[in-house]
Every structure is written in structure tokens, then in C-alpha cells.
A and B are shown apart, each in its own frame.
Chain A
Amino acid sequence: MTWVVWRQQRAQLITLLAVLVVGAAGVLLLRSSMSSYLDTHGLASCIASGVQPGSTCGLAAQEFQAVWFDRMKIGQLLVLALPALIGLFCGAPLFARELEQGTHVLAFTQSVSRTRWMATKFAVVAAPALVVLVVLQLLVTGWLNAAGKLGPLVSGPFVYSNFGTSGLAPVSYALFTFGLGMLVGALSGRTLAAMAVTLAVFVVVRFVLTGVQQFLLPTQRVVSDDPSQPSVTDQAALVVRSGYLDARGTPVPDGAEDRIGQCGSRGNTEAATDLATCYREQGLAKSFSDIIPSSEVGTLHLVEASIFGGLAVVFVLATGWALRRQT
């Protein structure tokens, strides 16, 4: 059966290969061109530190970013868009086109079980699509790493575009859209409808899960004994909530922070010289933040991927059921 599916999906698989070759060549060329730019402009030492006040990297780094930052963003966009495209153009038509053209009858009336037919079609198309996705993801990640903190990675691993292009995220999104497209296609028998529904559902689910991202893991509270200083030292962490604690250690209700205005300069009065003491006099003993530390990003990837992956498994099983239905 593998041969049959390979022959049937040949054009699609060749397209995937072309995407891989063109994408990989493009990313590698850009990366080497960027590396030589960094070398010739003496920016190699700035990769780890990024643009910081007072550093020697300032102007040259800004010129670098003016040219290269958006290009790297486009690379990320490719990795963000690929899972949706895989679902739309590989998953949705997989069974919808057969049902549309009536050729499923041909497949159903050979001696091969419908389950095997479905499993073969799924494997022969999904596996290469995932390989293309992972290779391009790794190449783009490598390119972005080469720019270090001069590139988009400076915003930290939890930012939408960085989170969605790293770790298990792209593969889990692709499995989700592929499974969803397959299922809607098998149920509706209409390619275009399956593509539209897949895109719409994927966008909504991605939006919702990005919105609830901060609730997927328990937060850790970090506290600064000096209430006038920020409590977070991990610049890349995901800050879920921040505020002040009173002397007993309970969070001061929202709005009470207005009191810190008392410590600023107002009219003729001078600003308080010892901010920490002033804050404490206002009942703000310590500052705190509830964060998901950047070291937990792998765990968060795992949680999100298991949600998308779990749904993908449900979609694949439901497709099997849909194809074994009798009219």
C-alpha cells in the first residue's frame, strides 16, 4: 500500500521536498551572510550580551538589527506558518479529495482494510511533512542562536514568536492541524470546507492556549526585600503577576500601589531620598512577582504539546471511525 499512496501523493511529496530544499538553502545562506556581517562589524562579542546601556555595541548593533532583525522574524514566521500549511494542504485533502472524486470506493473495494489504507495514507504524508518542519525549525533556531541577544531571542523564550517556533511546539501544532484536517475532510468529504475549518479552528485554539499559557504551570513567587527594587532577576521569565507585600507578607490589594506616589516629587516637596524607607512607611514592605522562570520553558512546552498532541490522537482515531462508517 505504501507504493500506492506514494504514487498518489507524489506531487505533494515532491512539493514538500522543494519546500525543504529552498527553505534550507535560504536559511543557510542568510545565516552565513549574517555571520560574516557580525564578524566584519566586530559584533561577535555583543551576541551574548545584546544591546545594553553603556556597552560598546550600541550603534553598530542597532545598524545590524535594522538590517537583520526583520529577516530573522520572517524565518520565525515560516516556522509558525508551516504547521498550519501542513494541515491545510496535506491533512485536509487527504481523504476529502478521495470522497469528493468518489475514488474512496476504489480504495474501499480492494482487499486492504480501510484502517490500513487510512494508516498508510496518514504515515506516508504526515511523516515527511513533519521531517521537513523539524529540519527547517532546527535550521531557523540555529540561525537565530547565531545572532544571540542581537536577534529576536532577546525577548525571552515565552514570547509568542519564540515559544511557537521552538521545542515541541511546531511538531505538536502540525500534528494537530494535520489530524483536524484529516477528520473534517473525512467527515465532510469537501476539501475546501475542510481547509477552511482547519484554519479557523487552529487559529482559535492557538489563540486560546496562548492566552491561558500562564495558567498551565504553577508560578513561583520571588520577593525583593527592598520594595523599591524590582523583584525579578530572571529577565526572560514569564511574569504572571507582580505587586507589593505588606509587613505580614500578604499581597497589597491592587490600587494600593498608588501610595508610592507619596514618595515621588510632588509640587514643591522634594522626592523622598530613601525610597525603601518611604515605601515601608506607606505599608509596602516588600515587592514580589509571581513568575514562571525561563528554566521552566521546557516543561511548558511539554504541557502545551501534550494538549495539542492529545487532541491530534483523538482526531486520528475519529478519522478511523469516520472512514469505517457505512452509509
Chain B
Amino acid sequence: MTNQPPVLADGLGKNYRRGWALRDCSTEIPGNRVVALVGPNGAGKSTLMGLITGLTRPSTGTISVFGDTPHGKGMHPAVAFLAQQKPLYAQFTVAETLQLGKHANPTWDQSYAEDLVSRAQVPMSAKVGTLSGGQRTRVALALALGKRPGLLLLDEPLADLDPIARQAVLGTLVEESRREGITVVLSSHVLAELEGVCDHLLLLVGGRVRLSGDVDHLLNGHVVLAGPPGHPEPVPRAAVIDAQRGVNGQHLLVPANAIGTTPGWRRFRPTLGHLALGYMRGASSEVAA
């Protein structure tokens, strides 16, 4: 593979009649990462995925995928995409669905795809239309991974799965991405599951990039301060990204470099959930203010 990054966006924007779905998006998704694409509903997650696949055309800015500009003629051979609806032909059997992948992808790995399906214990002879949500996702995932992509985009892959299926799908994803060196981009608004799975975060709020970068780096750069209720804030108000106050105490999310001494406050390393939720809430309270 080239040394071009999987995704490089510069000033990328998409304007629909109803308004901007994505604006001024400049970011890079580095290789060999599991990327969490996080944001509330309508943040522009699906739009960004559409722009990467070439299904959608940017209104402003540029995007390159492994150095190439996505277009409408067909998708980049190194990219696989699993749309939110997990589109599959309902009248095909599972085996026929894999055969579709074989016929439509020169880089297809049949034994790998079959292995993924059998590990998910989905019967090969079953019609796709008769599968459960979880089985359907596993088949769609096998179809996406079977083409041996360098970049796998998954739009809300966990949305309609029960907790056990979520664990199983996520486990497969992480395992395959680590073993095969695939960059996986997962969009989700369920943060708890992505904890410990993702090593890169891209947080979108209201069509703009709020936070992007290496997860460890981002977590090290932020601190959660816990203090008793009513205690004065130890940092300037402008530095507080998010504040949660209750009868049992208050929690402040602040950048690590903004704090000096904080008597009476305890410091915690934020979780990915804390961080993302804090930024999302902070952004929405800014809008409200």
C-alpha cells in the first residue's frame, strides 16, 4: 500500500438544501488505527462517510482516500463500506452473498470470508432475508472484510444489535483490524462500547470537528476534577470544557495544561466516554448560550 494516509480532508464541507451537514472539516485519519467517529445525531458522521466512499460529492474543500479523490464511477478498491442499513439482497442466501463479493471484487478472499461467517455461526444456506439483525450484520461484515480492504468504514454497525452481538461484532472488528493492519472507522453514538477499542477519536458536533487525535494523547491532555458541591472552581471558567454539578459533588472536564494547584479537588484521568460526552455537552451548551 502507498504511504498516503487512508483519509485526508482539507476544508471539507457538504451543504444540503436543509443546511450544512459538514463544515470546515480538516483532519487526517492515520493508518492502522481503530477510529471512533463520534457525535450526536445529525453531527455529520454519515455525511463524512459518504464523502469518503464517493457516494456523496463535497460542496467545499477536498478529500483524498489513499491519495485518490473519491468519485462517482466506483469506489476505491482499498475501501470497504458498511452502510447503516446494512444493505444486502434479501433473496440471496449467505453463500450467494459471499459469491457476490467474489464476483464483484478482484481482491476477494473467499476462505477468509467463509471463515468469518462460520465463526459467527451463520448458516451458509440461509436466505439473508430470514437472518436476525446480528447475523445480518455478521454477513455484511464478512462481505466488507472479504475484499481485504485497507480502510473499513462502518456506519453505526452496532445500532440494532443486542449487547452480546455488539461484543461479538466489536471483538471481530478489533481482532481483524489488528491482525490485517486495516484502518477501521466506526461511527457510533454509543460510547461505552468503544472504550478500550479505539485508538483514534474524531468527534463531530453540529457538522464541525470538535476533537480529533490519538486517544491516549487526548486522554492524557485532559483531567476530570471532582470536588464537593459549591466549591469554587480552581480554573478559569473559560478553560472548563464541561461541568456536571449535583448534590453529591461537581465534576469538571478541563485541559491538563490549564490547571495549577487544585486544593480540595481530586484529579482523574477521563475515560473516552467522559471526554466525548463532555465535549458534546460543552458544544451544545455553547450553542444554547
Contacts and interface: CB of A to CB of B under 8 A. Distances in A.
Nearest to A7: B96
Interface string B215-238: 000000000000000000000000
A33 interface: no
B103 A106 contact: no
Chain A interface, DSSP helix/strand/loop, else mixed: helix
B85 A109 contact: no
Contact of A105 (B87, B96, B147): B87
The dominant DSSP class at the B interface is loop
B89 interface: yes
B265 interface: no
A109 B73 contact: no
B72 A109 contact: no
A111 B105 contact: yes
Contacts of A3: 99, 103
Contact of B74 (A8, A11, A106, A113): A113
Given A108-B55, A111-B106, A326-B56, A102 B85 contact: yes
A258 B127 CA distance: 78
A104 B88 CA distance: 9
B59 to A, nearest CB: 11
Given A4-B103, A4-B104, A326-B54, A112 B87 contact: no
A114 B55 CA distance: 11
B50 A327 contact: yes
Contacts, number: 83
Interface in B83-101: 83, 85, 87-89, 91-92, 96, 99-101
Interface of B: 50, 53-57, 71-75, 77, 79-81, 83, 85, 87-89, 91-92, 96, 99-101, 103-107, 147
B29 to A, nearest CB: 18
Contacts of A265: none
A108 B53 CA distance: 9
A108 B83 CA distance: 11
Nearest to A110: B104
Contacts of A155: none
Contact of B55 (A4, A11, A110, A327): A327
Question: Which of A8, A101, A110, A114: most chain B Cβ within 10 A?
Answer: A110
Contacts of A327: 50, 55-57
5 contacts: A4-B104, A8-B89, A109-B83, A112-B74, A327-B57
Residue among B71, B91, B103 facing the most chain A CB atoms (10 A cut-off): B103
A109 B103 contact: no
A105 B55 contact: yes
Contact of B73 (A8, A11, A114): A114
A101 B91 CA distance: 12
A324 interface: yes
Given A103-B88, A109-B75, 5 more contacts: A7-B96, A108-B74, A109-B53, A111-B105, A113-B74
A2 to B, nearest CB: 8
A1 interface: yes
Interface of A: 1, 3-4, 7-8, 11, 101-116, 324-327
B83 A112 contact: no
A108 B75 contact: yes
Contacts of B71: 326
Nearest to B70: A326
A80 B74 CA distance: 39
Contacts of B89: 8, 103, 106
A96 to B, nearest CB: 15
A110 B87 contact: no
B99 to A, nearest CB: 7
Contacts of A102: 83, 85, 87
Best-surrounded residue of B54, B75, B106, B107 (most CB of chain A within 10 A): B75
B285 to A, nearest CB: 33
B64 to A, nearest CB: 15
A326 B57 contact: yes
Contacts of A104: 87
Contacts of B96: 7
Given A106-B88, A327-B57, A111 B147 contact: yes
Name which of A102, A111, A112, A324 has the most chain B CB atoms within 10 A of its CB: A111
Contacts of B75: 108-111
A303 B38 CA distance: 61
The 4 lowest CB-CB distance pairs between A and B, nearest first, are A326-B57, A110-B104, A113-B74, A109-B81
A108 B105 CA distance: 12
Contacts of B54: 326
A161 to B, nearest CB: 39
Contacts of B77: 111
A226 B83 CA distance: 81
Contacts of B79: 109
Contacts of A7: 92, 96, 99-100
